[in-house]
Every structure is written in C-alpha cells, then in structure tokens.
Structure 1
Amino acid sequence: MSLNVNKMKYVLVIPDGCADEPQASLGGKTPLQAAKTPNMDAISKAGIIGQTDNVPESMPSGSDVGTMSLFGYDPHEFHTGRAPLEAAAQGIELFPGDWAIRCNLVTVEDGKMKSFTAGQISNDVAAELVGLMQKQTCGSEHWKFYPGVSYRNLLVYRARGGKAPFADDTYTVPPHDITDQPIDESLPMGSGGCDLRELMEKSVELFAECESNQKRTENGELAATQAWLWGQGSRPNLEPFIERYGVRSAVITAVDLLRGIGKLLGWDVIEVEGATGYLDTDYAAKGRAAIEALRGDLDFVVVHVEATDEASHEGHADAKVKALEEIDEKIVGPVHEYLKSTGEYRILVCPDHPTFLRTKTHSHGYVPFTMCGAGIESKNVPSYDEVQAAASGDTIDNGYELMGRFLKK
C-alpha cells in the first residue's frame, strides 16, 4: 500500500559506512566530528537528528542489508544475499533455482588477506582473470563467470531445471571482513562450500600463470593471487518502490550493489562520468547529476558515495575526513541549495552501517541520520555526528521504518 504523499522533492545522501568511533589520530573525535561539514550541520540545525539501526544483529553487516533497510524494506523479509542484487545491476536474470555469487579478486600473502581488492586491480587485468576462470569451468553447463568492475565480479550457478548445490546453510565470509587476518577459518562452508572452495583453489594456479597479472608485481602493484567467492543468494522478490511509497525515484552510484537494488525497485539508475566507487570519485559530478535529475519529473533521488567506506577499509582516518568534507561541500551543499528553490522538499543524510577504522570492516550498530524540510520541526541541534544523534533521544530500532517517516508528510 503506497503512502498518500503530496508532490515534493526528496533527496537521500548516503555517505557509505561513515559512522565510526572516536579516533586518537583525530584528537578523540569521530571522523564526522572532525570533518568540516557545515551543510550537514545546517540540516541538523534546521530539522532533526537521530540514530537508526539498519542491520539486524542476526544478519551480516554490509551495504546489501543496510541499504535495503534504508530504502524501507525489512531485510528479514526481502534479503536473499548480496550477489543477486549485483547480478540485477549487470542485467543478469536469475531463474528459479539459480544462484549468484560475488567473485572478488584478492591478494592473499602468507595465508592472510592482504587486499580484498587486489590493490584496486585494473579492469583489463580483472577481465582477463575472469575469462581464465570461465575457461576452467567450460566443461560444466552450470557455472558462468561475469566480469564486472575491477575486483568486483560475479559467478552464477544455472540450475537449468535441476537442484542447486546451495542452501540456506551455505556459509561465506566477505573478504573485506578479514583484512590482515588468516583466511583458513573464513573459507566457504556448508552446502555448496566444497564446490566454491574447489573453484577458489583452481584460481590460484590460473592467476599465477597470467603474465599481465604478474607484471603488476614488477610495477610495484599488488597481483591478484586468487578469487574469493561469497555473498551467494537467489533472486529476491522486492515490491516496486512506487507501489510501496508512491514516488518516482532514481539512484546515483558507482557501485553495482546499489545499481542492482535500484533496478529491482523500479528506479532509474543514473550513470555519472568520473564516479569510481573509490576515494577519487568525482563528487561534484554526482551533485550536478542529482540536481539535473530533480529538474525532471522524478520525486526522489538517492546519491550514494562509497568513498567513506573505502577509507575505513584501508584504515585511513584522514582520507575518511576528507571524503566527508567533499560530500558535504560538493553534494549536500549544492543539492540542498537547489531544493530550496523548488518549493516543498525534504533532504535526508544517513549512512547504511558503521565501518570502523579500527577493524577496517563493517559493523553492527546505530548510525546517525539527519533530515529537514517541509513539515519537520527544527530541534536546533548544531551538528551532525554520532554523539549528537545518540543524545537526541530519537532512536529507530528497525531501520526500514525510517523511509516511511521521511516520505510521509
């Protein structure tokens, strides 16, 4: 059942994984407290601030679960895995019995996960490695590898009317959760685990024989040492967003996961030149693209920025602060200023989950949100950060409830 909303313009900005802990290197402040974010602070002062829990404790912490909650869908009901969402982004259709699996290209040294991105491996080398893995499985009609962007690739199991080797007890671990840790206890287990481990083991030899991959080492870059398979799942059944909430929507992102969720929800997916999904993304181009989208007949635009999450995965506090300041100056500021000229509007800033610099990985827990606009009475809180959000007394335990509150006038 859709909400009865008057026509307004809505924007959600997602600084992925920006929520964090106090850092000694930042004088005991969190990155949000240390960053100069006058535009986010202005939203907090003009509206409200609070905290929301987007990832249920019983589910793995990641953007697949966190953003599904943030977009207003209970992950307990709708989440089937991360890879199916990314398959949708690539236009890969999953049929009954089919499963999608994330295929990272990673660097493992001395039995430890040195880099879950293989040093941000280039697209051309990644595509060659994925092609080699496809050749090794050419004797099977069930397995199909699909190249993506850099280290992010996909493997699909086609059931072809049969029964997949996977089940709900299949257990995999995201490689970004074990940075600098031994990999032995994080290998795939349960139904299908043996199949996945066998493919991963075969990739080690293939990658070692690939000349363009090994040349990366000669150039002072990290070579991919193997594939890492994780995030498996079947196609989710998501109710179209316009039927659920009554607004026409679009998403701006450089990450396939968000593209996939957007497509499954019936959103427009806006591609932006210079958007990389990394710290070097073109923040200003994303801001301009959001404003241009709002000039059309769309009601709701989501701007997702991965840079803050990547900074945490690499353990770089200064880079996380800089990314927050870029988001504030080049996306939140210009977009909010434009919204003020359109009539009635609302703007919301909220990350999907915390990503701690200390652990270099995603975490469970509350994240701060702030929103302002039509019908939202100001609480006059001077800044947007974790401490102010916790002190506000405004806590949403089920993160999927925030979207309905944001869109309901």
Structure 2
Amino acid sequence: MKYVIVIPDGCADEPIEALGGQTPLQAAKLPAMDRLAAQGVLALANNTPVHLPAGSEVANLCLLGYDPDTYFTGRAPLEAAAQGITLNEHDWAIRCNLVTIENQTMVDFTADHVTTAEATELLEAVQTQLLSETPIDSRLEFIPGVSYRNLLLYRGDRATLAPFSTDTRSTAPHDLTDLPVADDFPRGPGSDTLVRLMNASAELFADHPVNKKRIAAGKRPVTNIWLWGIGGAPSLPSFESRHGVQGAMITAVDLLRGIAALVGWPRIEVDGATGYLDTDYAAKGRAALDALQHYDLVCVHVEAPDEASHEGRHAAKIEALEQIDRHIVAPLHQSLQASGDYRILVTPDHPTFCSTKKHTHGMVPLAMAGTGIVADAQTSYDELAADASGKRFDHGWDLMNAFIKR
C-alpha cells in the first residue's frame, strides 16, 4: 500500500461576496480534487481545538494523528527541531518574527518578506547589542532561520529557575495583520524580558544599514522583532511506531520540517520550493512522485494558499489551489492508480479566511480515496460538499487511523 497526503495549507475559507458567495475552493477549477471526491469520500475534521491556538502548529499535529493536549508544547520547539536543535529539559524556544509595525499597527508580519541574509544581519545586531543587560540575557541566543521566520533560545539548567513557564502567553503576529498590537505583547512569567527586547529592537533597527537599503529599494523596513510561540522540549512517538508506515515530508516551511523530524520522517528538500505563492508546484509534484519509489507514505505540504489568505487575496488563493491540483494532486493520483494498492488524502490543516487574513478555529474539508474506500454521493471537493457528506472527525487526530487502516 502506498499513501499520499497533500496539505494545501489554510485553503478552507468562508463564502466571499466578490466570488458570488462562493469559497475559493468552490470558485477554483479543481478537476483532480473533484475526481478524488467522486471516487472516494468527503468529511469534515476539526484540527484546532478551541482551547488551543488556531494555528498550523496545533493543526498539523492533529492532522498527522497526534493529540495536541498530549504532545503540543509550543510552536517554537517544533521549528527548532527543523534546524536540528535539541532542547533539553530546562530549555525554551521562542519564535522570532521580523515584522513591520507602523503607528502601533501590525502592517506586515513578514516585513515585506525580508531576505534570509538581511534577517541574519539584523539578528546579529540584536544579539551583540541588546543581550547584555541581565543574567538572563547570557542564556539567550538568536538563531536565524529563513526570511522572517527565526528563533530565540533560552538554555537553562537544573540549578537555575527558568524565567518562563507554560503560563507565558503570546500572540502570533499573523493573527494581528492590520490590527493594533499594544494589547498583544507577551504576558506572564518572563514576559518583561521579551517585551524589553521587542521594544529595544525598534530603536536598534531604525537606522540600521539593512533598513536604509530596503527603504531606498522601495521595500518596507523591518521595524521590530516579535517574540511568540514559546515552549519547552517536545517528545513525540514516531509515526512508524504508531501506524507501521514509514513516511517522508516535502515542505518549504520549518514548522512542518520540525514536525517531520520529531515523528521520524526524513525531509525532502525541493529546489524552487519557497513557502510562498511563487513556489515551484511542479517541482514539488515531481519530488513526490520520486519519493513514492522509496517510502510507504509521502506528505506534500504547500504553504501558498495560507499566504494568499494572510494577504487577503482570494484570486491568488484560487490560483494557488489550481496549481496544486494540476501539478501535485493530478500526477500523484494518476501514478498511484497505475501502481497497485493506494490511498490519497487531500486536506488543509486549518481554515484561513481571506476576509480576516488570519487562522481560525473550525472544521476543514477532506477528500480521501483509494483501495478499500467506498465512494459516497459527493462529487466536488469543497466545504459545503464535505458538510453535506455528514461525516465528521470531531477530533482531528482520529483521521490518520482511518486513513492508514488497512
């Protein structure tokens, strides 16, 4: 049996007036996904329990079969795993975005997609010029990642009481797009250190050479660091030990790379995969076809629909969905049908509404087809058709048992 999971991140949405009351899934031309719906089953799944963040960190753990109440410790630890960083018992990881804030409003949580080289230079300045004021600071280290997505680590030990705890609260910057930020700075244990660094970074970045060059080039400056997603060391049992299947991950996003590392999946890097709307969809499809020759299960994650939603661009979201359909779902399904027993699953992790530009709690539609799956009456892949199916996974982590079940 071969298995394929395709995750069009954040593709679930609400009806949009400009689309005649349709959702992007309904408005897009998706013949391959509709074919899955006609040949298999549709259902709804809840990957975002209301008491946890409605983000990809919780939702993708759920989607892959891990109850977040048991395994979720925070977003940043998952991203640390993507970089091969091991967190010990007393360590903490904190996500560090480079953002653009104007008049106390989150204008851009990506700082106009700052380059990795620019981000590295800015974080070096923060490390050398701001981390010198308290004993806590000597335990903190900024770790550059990709573009605006970076990390701050706190290295603790048994003898020193960590300043942070599970009560340290923070807000994801992508949930603040076009909104005031004054009431959303970190709160709780250790937050004074985080807020001090966030505020000090604004003064440091104001006249930094990186920003002078960006402004001269017509780009938004990086005005601040934004610290969030704090958590301690996670521990996940391997996917193979739970399901008897060895998987591999294709993604351009560190969060999914980190989850893959923690569940024992190798990550397949694809040239041209960017984690944005300009990603090379066809290259991802080709990489997945090749990976099927070597692994029982291949998971292809595509960030583009989510990015379009965060920018409030429904036309770009439709285009991303059609690219995924054409270059990933269609060739993979065709290959699977010609090679023996198989199952294929298409599902987003969480909804992301173009209207609000942020993640939200709620059910997402899934289509599942292949060996042993008896088709239902639905013939299109979208939110309303999935709802009409009457099938529900109220706990999203139950879906994987149903998908892998032989």
| TM-score bin, normalised by smaller chain | over 0.9
CA contact (8 A) 1:294 1:301 kept: yes
On the 8 A contact 2:377/2:389 being kept in 1, the answer is: no
1:303 corresponds, among 279, 286, 300, to: 300
- Counterpart CA distance in 2 for 1:337 and 1:268 is 24
Name the counterpart of 1:359: 356
Matched with 2:262 is 264
Structure 2 SS opposite 1:66: helix
**CA displacement at 1:123 relative to structure 2:** 1.4
1:1-400 map, 5 Å: 8-139=1-132, 140-161=137-158, 162-296=160-294, 298-400=295-397
- Deviation at 1:231? 0.2
State whether residues 122 and 210 of structure 2, in contact with CA within 8 Å, keep that contact through their aligned partners in structure 1. Answer: no
How many residues are paired up? 401
Q: 1:201 to 1:138 in 2, by over 3 A?
A: closer
Give the conservation status (yes or no) of the 8 Å contact 2:171–2:229.
Answer: yes
Q: Distance in 1 between matches of 2:72 and 2:129?
A: 31
For residues 191 and 233 of structure 1, the distance between their equivalents in structure 2, rounded to whole angstroms, comes to: 12
Q: CA deviation at 1:237?
A: 1.0
Offset, 1:164: 1.4
What is the CA deviation profile of residues 97-132 of structure 1, one whole-angstrom value per residue up to 9, with x for unaligned ones?
100000000000011000000001111111101111
Q: What's the TM-score once normalised by structure 1's chain length? A: 0.97
Cα displacement (A) at 1:182: 0.6
**Residue by residue, what CA displacement relative to the aligned partner does 1:48-83 show, whole Å, maximum 9, x if unpaired?**
001000010110100000000000000011000000
| Residue identity opposite 1:114 in structure 2 | V
| 1:47/1:380 contact within 8 Å kept | no
- Identity, in percent, stands at 55
Q: How far off its partner does 1:160 sit?
A: 3.2
| Structure 2 unaligned blocks of 5 or more | none
Determine if contact 1:137/1:143 at 8 Å carries over to the other structure.
no
Q: How far apart are the structure 2 equivalents of 1:326 and 1:381?
A: 23
Displacement after TM superposition at 1:137 (Å): 4.6
How far apart are the structure 2 equivalents of 1:286 and 1:377? 29
1:315 Cα deviation from its structure 2 partner: 0.2
Q: Distance in 2 between matches of 1:191 and 1:70?
A: 31
Q: 1:10-33 CA distances to partner (integer Å, 9 max, x unpaired)? A: 000000000000111111100000
CA distance in 2, matches of 1:324, 1:380: 23
Runs of 4+ in 1 over 6 A off after TM superposition: none
Question: Which region of structure 1 is more displaced relative to structure 2, 338-347 or 204-213?
Answer: 204-213
Task: Describe the superposition over 1:379-407 as per-residue Cα deviations: whole angstroms up to 9, x where unpaired.
Answer: 14110000000111001100000001000
Q: State the alpha-carbon separation in 1 of the partners of residues 129 and 265 from structure 2.
A: 37
RMSD, aligned CA: 0.8
Q: Distance in 2 between matches of 1:136 and 1:56?
A: 40
